[in-house]
Structures are given as C-alpha cells and as structure tokens.
C-alpha cells in the first residue's frame, strides 16, 4: 500500500524527470512559494529581533500589570503561543528544505550529465590527437626512408672523374 506522501513524492519525481528531458522548468506551486517565504522570514535576523522585542514587551507588560496581568507568571499563554508557532513553522521549514534539496539534486544531476558529456568530448579529442600524432609519425618515417634511400643512392653512384 502506497502512503500518500510517497505518491506525492513519486509524482514530483516524474514531473522533474519530464522537466529534465527538455521541458521548461516547472514553476513552484503556491505552497512551495509560501513555504520558502515563511522559511526566509523565520530564518532572518529581522524576525529574531522583532520576536525578541515582542517577547520582552509581553513579559514586561505582564510583570508590570501585577494582579491584572492577562498572562501572569509563569506565562502559560505565551508558552502556548510559542509552542503553536514552533509546531507550525517546523514542518513549513522542512517543506522548504525538501524542495530545496530536490532543486539541489536536479542541479547535481545536470552537473553530472555535463561532466559525462565533457568527459566524452575530452576522450574524443584525445583520440583525434593520437590519430594526428600517428599520422605525423608515419609521415616522418616516410620522409626518413626517402632521405635514407637518397643517401644510399648517392653512395652507390660511381665517383665522378675529374
């Protein structure tokens, strides 16, 4: 029995394979764009600073309110809100990381294919150079044989009488 996430992963893999065969890149879905946006926001210094300021304001506001505090110490409501935030942002960040790993895997595969083509081209160039060297050696040997034949012919000629 196929699990739902496995079927989704299989569909994405097939779509990426079709894309690699020459189609235009598939645009990211709304969910993928949203996950990337949330991950970029939550993973920024701006978010950390704003959230830290809000947490400090929450704690100070409740501490100064004393008996009228909306969330008295030990700040159970604040703890609950932070737990909800963590419970929702963690899977969204994981979705973004999974999508990025898919992109990285596709890029690595493309790089590997380029490297294979480059290796084949280099091998072909080596073979061509070897063939050219072989031809050069044959031509040089033929020239040497002709030169030796001329030298032998000159040595076998009778000397000219003066």
In a domain, 6, yes or no: no
pLDDT at 105: 92
Which tokens in the block code for residue 138? 């044959």
pLDDT at 78: 96
Give per-residue pLDDT as tens, 34-90.
Answer: 999 999 999 999 999 999 999 999 999 999 998 899 999 999 999 999 999 999 999
Cα angle, residue 154 at apex, residues 151 and 157 outer, rounded to 5°: 150
Mapped onto helix, strand or coil, the DSSP state of residue 157 is coil
In a domain, 8, yes or no: no
In a domain, 12, yes or no: no
In a domain, 160, yes or no: no
Cα–Cα dist 118/21, whole Å: 19
DSSP state of 29: P
What are the DSSP E strand ranges found in 61-125?
Answer: none
In a domain, 10, yes or no: no
In a domain, 135, yes or no: yes
Q: 2: pLDDT confidence band, cut at 50, 70 and 90?
A: very low
Residues in contact with 85: Cβ distance below 8 Å, sequence separation at least 6, in sequence order: none
Number of domains forming the structure of the chain? 1
The phi and psi torsions of 117 (rounded to 5 degrees) equal -65, -40
In a domain, 32, yes or no: yes
DSSP state of 133: H
Cα–Cα dist 129/121, whole Å: 12
Q: Which domain holds residue 129?
A: 28-155
In a domain, 14, yes or no: no
């Amino acid at each position: 029995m196929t699990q739902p996430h496995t079927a989704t992963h299989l569909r994405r893999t097939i779509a990426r394979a079709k894309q690699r065969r020459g189609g235009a890149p598939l645009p990211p879905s709304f969910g993928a764009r949203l996950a990337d946006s949330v991950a970029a926001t939550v993973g920024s210094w701006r978010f950390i600073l704003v959230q830290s300021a809000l947490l400090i304001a929450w704690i100070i506001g409740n501490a100064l309110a004393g008996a009228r505090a909306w969330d008295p110490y030990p700040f159970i409501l604040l703890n609950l809100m932070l737990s909800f935030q963590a419970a929702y942002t963690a899977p969204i960040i994981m979705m973004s990381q999974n999508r990025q790993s898919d992109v990285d895997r596709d890029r690595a595969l493309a790089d590997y294919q380029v490297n294979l083509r480059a290796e084949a081209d280099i091998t072909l160039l080596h073979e061509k150079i070897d063939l050219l060297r072989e031809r050069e050696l044959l031509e040089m040997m033929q020239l040497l044989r002709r030169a030796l034949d001329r030298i032998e012919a000159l040595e076998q000629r009778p000397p000219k009488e003066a």
